[in-house]
């Protein structure tokens, strides 16, 4: 029994007419997400980062040499708004982790590039991040982990398809 089981038992008692099984699944997913998020935030903080700054730096790092992208590409890859991205870039620039450079393909625009310091910080942070994730998933067997990943991939694909299908055409 976990906390979610207790909540479900209360609902079964108070509203036996409702099928609250989905509440259990979603509640557990939310709790797991919170636990994972807290652990990963600790890892990011140990490197002077938070989830948002890690996301931008990791996106630049995994893009490969020259470790630079346009602000528009960064927005698309991190799925944030223009204002949010500008703020993140400004903060990372102040910290000396990224810099704005003229775009070699179009001198009218800029690209955002990792600095040497930014490259070192994200390389160390991503190494620690992967170690943290490995520790967290080690709590379940490899077979269960693979099965969970398959289930979540299917579930996420279904949610994303539903979201695309219900999007307003306007």
Exposure of 20 by Cβ count < 10 A (0-12 exposed, 13-18 middle, 19+ buried)? middle
The predicted pLDDT at position 168 comes to 58
CB 130 within 8 A of CB 137: no
Q: What is the pLDDT of residues 106-134, one digit of tens each?
A: 888 899 999 999 999 999 999 999 999 99
Q: Is 70 exceeded by the pLDDT of residue 5?
A: yes
Averaged pLDDT of the chain:
94
pLDDT in tens, 57-102: 999 999 999 999 999 999 999 888 899 999 999 999 999 999 999 9
Per-residue pLDDT at 169 exceeds 80: no
Tell me how far apart the alpha carbons of residues 65 and 73 are, in angstroms, rounded to a whole number: 15
């Amino acid at each position: 029994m976990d906390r979610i089981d207790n909540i479900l038992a209360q609902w079964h008692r108070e509203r036996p007419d409702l099928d609250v099984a989905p509440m259990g699944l979603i509640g557990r997913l939310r709790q797991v997400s919170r636990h994972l998020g807290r652990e990963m935030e600790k890892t990011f903080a140990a490197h002077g980062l938070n989830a948002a700054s890690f996301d931008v730096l990791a996106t630049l790092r995994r893009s490969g040499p020259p470790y630079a992208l346009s602000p528009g590409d960064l927005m698309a890859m991190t799925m944030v708004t223009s204002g949010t991205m500008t703020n993140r870039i400004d903060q990372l620039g102040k910290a000396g982790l990224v810099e704005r450079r003229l775009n070699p393909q179009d001198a009218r625009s800029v690209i955002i590039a990792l600095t040497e310091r930014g490259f070192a910080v994200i390389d160390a942070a991503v190494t620690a991040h992967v170690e943290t994730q490995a520790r967290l998933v080690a709590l379940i067997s490899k077979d269960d982990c693979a099965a969970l990943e398959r289930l979540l991939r299917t579930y996420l694909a279904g949610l994303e398809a539903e979201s695309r299908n219900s999007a307003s055409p306007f």
